[in-house]
Amino acid sequence: MKIKIEGLDCPNCAKTLENHINKIDGVYNAKINFLKSYIEFQSNDNEKAINDIIEITKKIEPEAKIVTNKTKVKFNKKWLLELLILSIGIIVGVCCFVIDLPTWAYWTLLIVSVLLLGYKTFYKAIQLIFKGVINENLLITISVFGAIVIGEHTEGQMVIALYSIGKILESFALNKSKKSIEELTNFKPEYATLLKGDEEIRVFPSEVNINDIIIVKPGERVPVDGIVVEGKASLDLQSLTGESLPTTVDVDNEILSGAIVLDGVLKIKATKKYEESTVNTIINLIETATEKKSKTETFISKIMKWYTFGVIILAVSVWAIIWSITKNFDLALYRGLIFLVVSCPCAFAISVPLSYFCGLGNASKNGILIKGSNYLDACAKLNLIAFDKTGTLTTGNFEITKIESFTKNYNEEDIIYIASIGEQYSLHPLAISITNANAKTLEKALDVKEIAGQGVYYTYKNKPYFVGKKSEHINKTVVELFEDNLKIGQITLKDSVKQNSKNTCEILKLLNIKSVMLSGDNKETVEDVANEIGIDEAYYKLLPQDKFEWIKLNKDNYKIGYVGDGLNDAPSLTLADVGFSMGLKGISASIEASDIVISNDNPAKIPQAIKISKQTRKIVWENIILSAVVKITFLTLGACGVTGMLSAVIADVGVTLIAILNSLRALMYKHKYKKINKSK
C-alpha cells in the first residue's frame, strides 16, 4: 500500500517518522521515500493503518500531511503564511535595536521576535526530545537561547532568522528538484480507448485485456504493449528510450506502452496486460531504485543517527576546554554554541541521497534503468565489460549472404522456395529469416517433423526433403537443403551487427575499459563479428556454464559488467558485479537477474550508463568533501574565536544550498557520444 505525504522537509525527519510508523500495531515494513514523497507499508487493515499513520504524523511531524483520496485539495497558503510570520518577526526584531525601549518592552519584543522567527524549530526540538530524538532543531534551539543568555541578543536573533530563511530556500530548491525528477515518471497513460465494434469506450489501462483492440490518436500515449493491426504513425519514444528522433510504426510492428503518437491513428491489439507492460515496468523500476542504497548513502544514513548526539558532546567538550584555558564562561559558551550551529547535518543528509536520485533519474531519462544507487556506484567502478553476442552486439536477425544450388534442376530462387516450405513450420531464427526472404506464396508441406538442433523433415510433391544442418565440418552459419538424402543446395546467413556495436567498443577503449565477447557460436562467426566491431577479446563455443566460469575466474582481477538478453545469460548477469540486460527483446528472466536494464537494446547505452554513474559519484563526493571542509574550517575558526555565530549560520545554510544545487547537476548531466573514425 502506498500513500502520499507532503510537507516533509528533511531526510532525518522522514527517518524518525518511519521508525514511529513501524511501531504502530498492524503496520509492517513501512518505508518513507523522502524524494518521491510517499509512504509504503503492509497491513491487514489498510483503512485503520492509514488513520493511525495520519495520527502519528500529526504528533511527530505536524507540518507534514498525509494525502488520500478523501483529502480535500486546498490552495497551499503555507509559503505565504511562513513568509508573513518571518517578515513580522524580522520587523519586531529590528524595533528592539533601533527604538529606545524600556527594559520590559525590549525583552518582550525580543522574545516575540525570536519565537516568531523560530517557532517551528523550537516546537520540533521540544516535541522530539520528549520522544528521545535529538536532531538539528535542538542544535539551533540551544544556540539561539544560549546566545541570548550570554548577552549576544543580536546574534541570537540573526541565527534563527538566517536559519529559517535558509530552510525556506532549501525547501524551495528541494521541491524544485523533486518536480524535475517526478517529470521523468509522468509518462503513465491515464486512459485507454477500447474498441467494441464501432463504439469507442474510454477505460483505465488496467482494464485492457490481452487481444483487446484499442485505438490511439495523435497526442495520446499508448496504454499497453501490443501489435499494430491498422494504421501508420510516428512515435515519440524519448521517455522510454531516451532517443529524440521519432520512430515510424506500421501494421504488424510491435509497439510499447508509454510511447506518444505524433501523427496518424493506430489500432493496436494488446499483447500484455498493463501490469506487465513496458511503461509500468519502467515506472516500478524507477520508483523502487532508491530502496537499494549505495554503501556511501547507507554510511551517511547510519552516521546521522548518532551525529547530533555526538555534536552536542563535542560542543560541551569545546566549551569545557576553552573555559579551562580562558577562565571566561561566556566566551567558552559562545564558542561552544558556534560549534553547534556549524555542525547541523543538513548538507550531508539531503545532498547525498538527492545526488544519487538525480543520477538514477538522468539514467532513466536516457532509457537506462538502474535498479538502485548501489548498482550506480558499482557501474562507476567497472573496468571490463563482457558481452553476449546474439541479440546484444548483433541484432539476432539473420540476413542471407549467399544462396548455392548444387543441381541443374533448381536455381537459387527454387532453393529458397523449397527451403521455406519446410522452414515455415519452425520458430528458429534462421528459419524465420529464410521464410521472410521468400517472395512467393508458400504451399503446404506434408509429414512435417522438426528435430531440435537438426532441422525440419517434410514431404513436398511426393518427395522427402530435409532443411537444416547435417554437415559437421561447416563452421559458417549455413542451412542445408536435401532431397532424397542428396544435398541440392545451401543458404549462408549472417547475424547482422547492431549499428552502434563498433562505436560502443571504441568508447569503452577511451574509458580504459576492456571489452570481451562470450559466445556459444562457432569460431569463424565469432571472429568475424569481433573483427568487425573491434572488440578486445572474443571467446567461442561457450555454454552458459562456461560463461559463468569465465566471469568467476576473472572477478579477482576486474570489476566486471556482463551484458546479455537471453535465459542462458541469467546466471552470468547475476554473478557479474553489474548485470546489464536488453529490455526490448530480453526475456523476463534476464531482466529480473540484471541490475541495469537498457530499454531500447542499444549497446551504446552501456558506456553512457558508466559515464552517468561516474559523474554522479563524483558529485556525491564533491558534496561530501565541500560540506566537510566548510564545516571543519568554521568549527576550527569558531573555536579559536576568529569567526562568530553569524558566519557559522551563513556557512551552514550556504553549504547546504550549494550542495543541493550541485546535486541537480547529476540530473542535468549530458554526455554526447560522437562516432569515432579509426582512420583519423
Active site residues: 388
**In angstroms, what is the C-alpha Rg of the chain?**
33
Residues 6 or more apart whose CB falls under 8 angstroms from that of 479 comprise 419, 423, 430, 434, 455, 467, 468, 469, 490, 491, 493
Beta partners for residue 492, in sequence order: 402, 478
Which cell is 352 given? 547525498
Sign of the dihedral defined by the CA atoms of residues 626, 629, 635, 639, in that order:
negative
- Side-by-side strand order, sheet with 394-405: 394-405, 486-497, 478-483, 463-468, 455-460, 446-451
User: H or E segment at 565?
Assistant: none
Rounded distance, CA 412 to CA 414, Å?
5
Shortest CA distance to 400 belongs to which of 435, 443, 451, 362? 435
CB atoms within 10 A of CB 381: 14
**Could you give the strand order of the β-sheet that contains 38-43, starting from the edge strand earlier in sequence?**
27-33, 38-43, 2-6, 65-67
The answer to whether 95 and 116 have CB atoms below 8 angstroms apart is: no
Q: Which residue, among 581, 180, 185, 565, has the nearest Cα to 371 in the 3D structure? A: 581
493: left (phi over 0), alpha (psi -120 to 50) or beta: beta
Q: Please spell the DSSP secondary structure of 514-549, one letter per residue.
A: EEEEE-SS-HHHHHHHHHHHT-SEEE-S--HHHHHH
Q: Residue 512, exposed/middle/buried by CB under 10 A (0-12, 13-18, 19+)? A: exposed
Cβ atoms 573, 590 nearer than 8 A: yes
CA distances from 418 to 94, 403, 448 (A): 96, 12, 13
- Biggest CA-to-CA distance, the chain: 120
CA distance 501 to 605: 10
Q: Please tell me the distance from the alpha carbon of residue 49 to that of residue 267, in angstroms, as a whole number.
A: 43
User: 7 with 45: CB under 8 angstroms?
Assistant: no
Task: Tell me if 291 sits within 8 A of 371, measured CB to CB.
Answer: no
Are residues 7 and 63 in contact, defined by beta-carbon separation less than 8 angstroms? Answer: yes
Provide the β-strand partners of residue 515. 385
C-alpha cell at 288: 523502487
β partners of residue 560: 384
Alpha helices for 289-328 (secondary structure H): 295-326
Query: Among candidates 466, 404, 397, which has minimal Cα distance to 433?
Result: 397
**6 to 76, 163, 312, 370: CA distances (angstroms):** 11, 21, 30, 26
